[in-house]
Amino acid sequence: MSDSINAEIIAIGTEILLGEITDTNSVYMAQQLRQIGINLYFMTSVGDNIGRIASAIQIAMSRADVVITCGGLGPTVDDMTRQGVAMVTGRDLVFHQHLFDQIAARFASFRAQMTENNRQQAYLPDGAIPIENPVGTAPSFIVEHEKNVIISLPGVPREMKYLLGEAVLPYLHKKYALGIIKARVLKTAGIGESALDEMIGKELLEGSNPTIGLNAHHGVIDVRLTVKAENDAEADQLLDVGEQKVREKIGDFIFGKDKETLEEVLIRQFQSEGATLAVLEAGIGEGVISRLQAVAGGSDILAHTEVYSHPDKVYEQYSQFDTLSFRDFADQAGEWLCNQYDTDVAIVILSLPDVGENADNRVEATAIAVYSPHRRQSRGYGFGAKADITRDWVSRWTMAVAWRMIKEQSETEE
């Protein structure tokens, strides 16, 4: 396998900078480059200005082996990618008759009139390797210039994807004798990012193959392992070794891998133990209930559910509790539900629906509790249900704790 190869993607088009379109092309190309073992450290967007296009390419060439431009290969006056590449590499633009004939044939095939400005699409920087485009009218090209390779692709997603897969990736694989990059994601919950980072430790986090990174979502943290290898078998072996080392550090908090969701894993865990769950939610709609019911088997583990529009309604329903705080009330309600409906775990979520991220003059605007006869856990937050993060955060946190309670109880009984 060759030494590490770096790439940079340049998305060209003023419409991207104006927010008129979303640049999905760069994301797609990044995913494809990763699969063949090319590092991507920068993505750049630049408008339809020849000076700025040339400058962006020049900067990219200074820090990347491969520069891939996307867009600006059309027939109009604002399509300036060819000129930008030619300017940076000190080349003239040269007319290619066979490319022009292909463009003309393409127009004729769908009975459209080709205009004179389409002629400019047949001009490429001198010495460029043409990439013929059978699915569009914009020929692409590769310029090998000193230590760099510049690849220019059309901005139409369908054309870009076709040419990338059929021509560009095979070219890069052959030129650089590439291996592959492969990733595996371990899904964790029930622990904060900083605590997880500390538990994994610097030795693993600062390793090079695999590299390990953390990506926090609301209530869930992904631990991504990425390896470089000659082939799939070697990559899988490296990932297996890396995963084992990570599991030795944080195995208690890993609930799944790759595409698995917390809901799916929780449901499987409850089903395997024959366990049931009671859920009471107030102020956030059906955060946990709807997530579980959306997955096969979720309704089966829900032995009892209650939904209220406001925590005050819960206070009216459960007036027998003598509570000192929002959180204490949630804790007592969880215990009562578990005992009353003979469930293995109860989840209680109380959140003020008219409070956002800053709850004025309140210690707690959201309280959550998870109870089982063997363990209980509760938390209070200063944000209410009006905050964007509330529904995801508290739903995932409570499901993670419920999953761990059943898992730990199972391990204790073995």
Name the CATH superfamily housing domain 6-176: MoaB/Mog-like domain (3.40.980.10)
Identify which of 328, 382, 392 has the alpha carbon closest to the alpha carbon of residue 352.
382
Q: Is the pLDDT of residue 4 over 90?
A: no
**Quick one: pLDDT at residue 362?**
53
The rounded mean pLDDT for the chain is: 89
Contacts of residue 350, defined as CB under 8 A and 6 or more positions apart, other chains included, come to 282, 283, 311, 314, 326, 329, 330, 366, 367, 368
| pLDDT confidence tier of residue 354, bands split at 50, 70 and 90 | confident
In Å, how far are 63, 259, 402 from 408, measured between CA atoms? 50, 23, 10
**pLDDT per residue as tens digits for the range 321-344:** 776 688 899 999 999 999 999 999
Q: Is the CB of residue 263 less than 8 Å from the CB of residue 294? A: yes
Strand partners of residue 145: 148
From CA 406, how far away is CA 393, in angstroms rounded? 20
Return the amino acid letter for 258: D
Burial letters for 338-370: b for 16+ Cβ neighbours within 10 Å, e otherwise? beeeebbbbbbbbbbbebeeebeeeebbbbbbb
From CA 267, how far away is CA 300, in angstroms rounded? 9
**pLDDT per residue as tens digits for the range 355-411:** 877 655 556 889 999 999 988 999 888 888 888 788 888 998 899 989 988 888 877
Burial letters for 178-194: b for 16+ Cβ neighbours within 10 Å, e otherwise? bbbbbbbbbbbbbbeee
Residues in the chain: 414
In Å, how far are 30, 188, 209, 211 from 203, measured between CA atoms? 28, 20, 12, 11
H-helix or E-strand containing 97? helix 97-109
Q: Is the pLDDT of residue 412 over 80?
A: no
- Strongest mean pLDDT among 2-11, 200-209, 293-302: 293-302
User: For residue 46, how many C-alpha atoms fall within 13 Å in the half-sphere facing its CB?
Assistant: 27
CATH assignment of 262-413, among 3.30.70.2660, 3.40.50.1820, 3.10.20.30, 3.90.950.20: 3.90.950.20
Q: Is the pLDDT of residue 135 over 80?
A: yes
Helix (H, G, I), strand (E, B), or coil: what is residue 98? helix
Rounded to 5 degrees, φ, ψ at 361 are 60, 25
Q: Is the pLDDT of residue 229 over 80?
A: yes
Each domain of the chain, given as residue ranges in start order, spans 6-176, 180-257, 262-413
From CA 182, how far away is CA 197, in angstroms rounded? 22
User: For 113-117, 270-274, 377-381, which range has the lowest pLDDT when averaged over its residues?
Assistant: 113-117
CATH topology of domain 180-257: Alpha-Beta Plaits (3.30.70)
Helix (H, G, I), strand (E, B), or coil: what is residue 370? strand
Strand partners of residue 309: none
| pLDDT confidence tier of residue 230, bands split at 50, 70 and 90 | confident
**Quick one: pLDDT at residue 279?**
97
Q: Is the CB of residue 378 less than 8 Å from the CB of residue 394? A: no
Q: Is the pLDDT of residue 1 over 80?
A: no
**Quick one: pLDDT at residue 414?**
58
Q: Is the pLDDT of residue 413 over 60?
A: yes
**Quick one: pLDDT at residue 110?**
64
**pLDDT per residue as tens digits for the range 43-73:** 999 999 999 999 999 999 999 999 999 999 8
**Quick one: pLDDT at residue 359?**
54
**Quick one: pLDDT at residue 220?**
85
Contacts of residue 344, defined as CB under 8 A and 6 or more positions apart, other chains included, come to 270, 273, 275, 276, 277, 338, 372, 373, 406, 409
Q: Is the CB of residue 200 less than 8 Å from the CB of residue 246? A: yes
From CA 216, how far away is CA 193, in angstroms rounded? 7
**What does the longest C-alpha to C-alpha distance in the chain come to?**
88
Q: Is the pLDDT of residue 132 over 60?
A: yes
Contacts of residue 355, defined as CB under 8 A and 6 or more positions apart, other chains included, come to 362, 365, 383, 384, 385, 386, 387
pLDDT, mean of residues 200-229: 86
Q: Is the CB of residue 203 less than 8 Å from the CB of residue 258? A: no
Rounded to 5 degrees, φ, ψ at 218 are -70, 100
In Å, how far are 27, 53, 70, 148, 246 from 38, measured between CA atoms? 14, 23, 17, 14, 25
**Quick one: pLDDT at residue 208?**
80
In Å, how far are 32, 47, 157, 255, 294 from 29, measured between CA atoms? 5, 19, 10, 31, 33
From CA 275, how far away is CA 410, in angstroms rounded? 10
**Quick one: pLDDT at residue 361?**
52
**Quick one: pLDDT at residue 120?**
80
**pLDDT per residue as tens digits for the range 287-300:** 999 999 999 999 99
From CA 390, how far away is CA 399, in angstroms rounded? 14
